[in-house]
Amino acid sequence: MLNKSKLFLALITLGASKILLAAEGPVTTLNTIVLTAQSDELGSELLGKSLNVSNQFIDTSKLKQRSTTLGDALGTELGIHSNQYGGGASTPIIRGQEGKRIKVLQNNADVLDMSNMSPDHAVTVEPSLAKSIEIIRGASTLLYSSNSAAGVVNVIDYKIPTQMPQDGLEGNTTLRFNTGSNEKLTTAGVTVGLSPHVALRAEGIYRNAGNYKTPHYQSSSYNSLEDLENQNSIYKNLKYLPESWAESRVGTLGLSWIDDNTYLGVSYTHRHDEYGLPAHSHLYEGCGASAIGIDSRISGLKNYLLYYPQLMDEQDINYINPRPDCHQHNHIHETNFSHNAPYIDLNTVLVLMCVENSLNHLPVLTKFVPH
C-alpha cells in the first residue's frame, strides 16, 4: 500500500513540473473572433417561429416575381418541380410525388378542387395575391393528412383581415408585363377599417397571357385518317407553343371582427380561369363515343337523343359496346366557341370562414366548383 502511495506522489510531481516548464515558454495570444447571428422570426401558421432544414418559407416579395400558377411559382425551390399543363395550370411535384400525395391548404383549410385528380385543372389559389407560402416535408405532414407523404403546401393570403389596418387604410397594387408570352398582370387590394373592431378587405387580379414564344417548335398534323395510318405527317416550324395562352379573373371580398387576441372572419371569392390545352391533335376534334343503344336508334322514336343525350335513361344506354363517333354527325359538334381548339373554361366560387384566438385556429371551408 505504501509503494502505491509513493508511485502516485511521483506521478503528480512529474506532471506539475511539466506544467511549470510549459508556462515558462513563449505565449501566443490569438485574436478575438466575434460571431454574430441574426434570425428573423417567421411568424408562420404551420412552421411557427423556427424553420427546419426540410421545410421552406416563401414571402410575398419573392412571390410577386414568380409565376401566377402554384406549380411554376414553387418550381425553383429545392426539391420541387412543376407539372405544367399549359399556361393556366400547374401543380407542384415534391420529392418526385404529386397529386394526392401533396396536400394543398389555403389559410390552413383544405383546397377542395379537382387539381389532384386531373392535371388540366388549375389549383384554385393565387400566389400573386399570397402573403406567404409554407412548405412542410417529412413526418410532420401526417398531422394534416394521412396520405400527404410528399409534403404540405399552405398558401396564406390577405382575404380575411387578421389585424386592423394602420391609420384605417392599407392597400397594395402590382403591374407586370412578361415578354415571353406578352403576359399582362394586374393585382390590387385594399383593407379598410369600418370601425375600431371591423375591417373590410377587397382584392382582385386580372391576367392575360398569349402563347409562349419558343424558337424551334415543330407542329405535326395529318390531313386525313389515311395519312395517320401511314404516318404521313406534315411538320410546320412555329415560333410559339400553340394553345399555351391563359386568362384569369379573380375577385374577393372579406370581412372580419378583430379583437386583441381573437378574430372572426369570412371571405367570398369568385374566379374565372380560361386557358388552352397544348399538344392536342386537330384530327380528332369533334370525336366522341356514342353510347346510345342500337334498339333506340333503329326504332327511330328517340332520334332526339343525338341532340340531347342527357335525356337518355337506362334502356337507351349501350354499356357493352359504345361505338366511336368521329365527324359522322357534323350538326352535333357545331359550337359557338371563339377558339379553334380544346380549352378549359373554369368558374370557381369559394367561401371561407375562420375563427382564431390565442389558443387555436379553426378554419371552416365551403367551396363550389361549377364547370
213 and 292 in one domain? no
41 assigned to some structural domain:
no
DSSP single-letter state for residue 29: P
Per mean pLDDT, which range of 73-82, 163-172, 192-201, 273-282 is the poorest?
273-282
258-305 confidence digits (pLDDT tens):
988 888 999 999 999 999 988 765 555 555 555 565 555 555 566 666
80-112 confidence digits (pLDDT tens):
999 888 888 999 999 888 888 899 998 888 887
223 and 117 in one domain? yes
263 assigned to some structural domain:
yes
| Secondary structure (H, E, C), 90-152 | EEEEECCECHHHEEEEECCEECCCCCCCCCCCCCCCCHHHEEEEEEECCHHHHHCCCCCCCEE
301 and 202 in one domain? no
CB 155 within 8 A of CB 130: yes
pLDDT band at 164 (very low <50, low <70, confident <90, very high): very high
DSSP single-letter state for residue 259: -
Distance (Å, rounded) from C-alpha 318 to C-alpha 290? 8
96 and 75 in one domain? yes
229 and 186 in one domain? yes
Contacts of 40 (CB under 8 A, 6+ apart): none
CATH of residue 266 = 2.170.130.10
Residue range of the domain that includes 348 = 56-282+338-368
Looking up cell 366548383 gives 369
240 assigned to some structural domain:
yes
64 assigned to some structural domain:
yes
268 and 158 in one domain? yes
Number of domains in the chain: 2
* pLDDT at residue 188 is higher than 50: yes
The mean pLDDT of 136-140, rounded to a whole number, is 86
| C-alpha pair distances (Å), 349 with each of 165, 212, 271 | 26, 29, 7
CB 153 within 8 A of CB 125: no
Chain centre to alpha carbon of residue 71: 5
For 220, other C-beta atoms within 10 Å of its C-beta total 9
205 and 352 in one domain? yes
205-238 confidence digits (pLDDT tens):
999 999 989 888 877 766 766 766 666 777 788 8
32-44 confidence digits (pLDDT tens):
888 776 655 555 6
Distance (Å, rounded) from C-alpha 68 to C-alpha 61? 14
pLDDT attached to residue 368: 43
Cell numbers representing residue 179 in the block: 415578354
CB 299 within 8 A of CB 292: no
pLDDT cut 70: percent of the chain above it? 66
14-32 confidence digits (pLDDT tens):
555 555 444 555 778 888 8
Distance (Å, rounded) from C-alpha 244 to C-alpha 248? 13
178 assigned to some structural domain:
yes
5 assigned to some structural domain:
no
- The residue that leads in pLDDT, 131 or 11, is 131
304 and 222 in one domain? no
The mean pLDDT of 301-330, rounded to a whole number, is 59
pLDDT band at 367 (very low <50, low <70, confident <90, very high): very low
194 and 244 in one domain? yes
271 and 150 in one domain? yes
DSSP per-residue letters across 19-80: HHHHHTS---PPPP-----------BTTTBT---TT-EEEEHHHHTTS-SSHHHHHTTSTTE
349 and 212 in one domain? yes
- The residue that leads in pLDDT, 367 or 200, is 200
The three-state secondary structure class of 84 is: strand
For 29, other C-beta atoms within 10 Å of its C-beta total 5
343 and 297 in one domain? no
294 assigned to some structural domain:
yes
pLDDT attached to residue 143: 83
> Which strand (E) or helix (H) includes residue 256?
strand 246-258
pLDDT attached to residue 254: 96
CB 223 within 8 A of CB 255: no
The three-state secondary structure class of 167 is: helix
pLDDT band at 326 (very low <50, low <70, confident <90, very high): low
234 assigned to some structural domain:
yes
